[in-house]
Amino acid sequence: MISLEDLRMAVTLARSESLSAAARALNVSPPALSMRLRKLETLLGLTLANRDARRLSLTADGERFSRQSALLLDQLEALPESFKQQDDRLVGTLRLAAPFGYGRQHIAPLLARFARLHPQLCLHLDLRETPWPDRHDSDAVIHIGTLSDSLWVARPLTQNDRWLCASPAYLEQHGTPLSPEQLAEHRCICIRENDEDVTLWHLRNEHGRKTLRIKPALLSNDGSVARRWAEQGLGLVLRSQWDVSKAIADGRLVRVLADWQFDSAPINLLVPSRKLRSARVQALVSFLEAELKA
Q: What is the pLDDT of residues 182-200, one digit of tens each?
A: 999 999 999 887 667 778 8
Report domain extents, the chain: 4-81, 87-160+267-293, 162-262
User: What is the architecture of the domain spanning 4-81?
Assistant: Orthogonal Bundle (1.10)
The per-residue pLDDT for 148 is 63
Kindly give the parts of the chain with pLDDT less than 50.
85-87
How much is the pLDDT for 222? 86
Whether the domain at 87-160+267-293 and the domain at 162-262 fall into the same CATH topology: yes
CATH fourth-level superfamily of 162-262 = Periplasmic binding protein-like II (3.40.190.10)
pLDDT at 208: 87
Measure the CA–CA gap between 260 and 204, rounded to whole angstroms.
6
Q: What pLDDT was estimated at residue 294?
A: 66
- The per-residue pLDDT for 86 is 45
| Per-residue confidence (pLDDT) for residue 25, from 0 to 100 | 82
pLDDT at 195: 62
Q: Does domain 87-160+267-293 bear CATH number 3.40.50.300?
A: no
Looking at residue 133, what is its pLDDT?
A: 60
Determine the pLDDT at residue 82: 58
Residue 109 confidence (pLDDT): 95
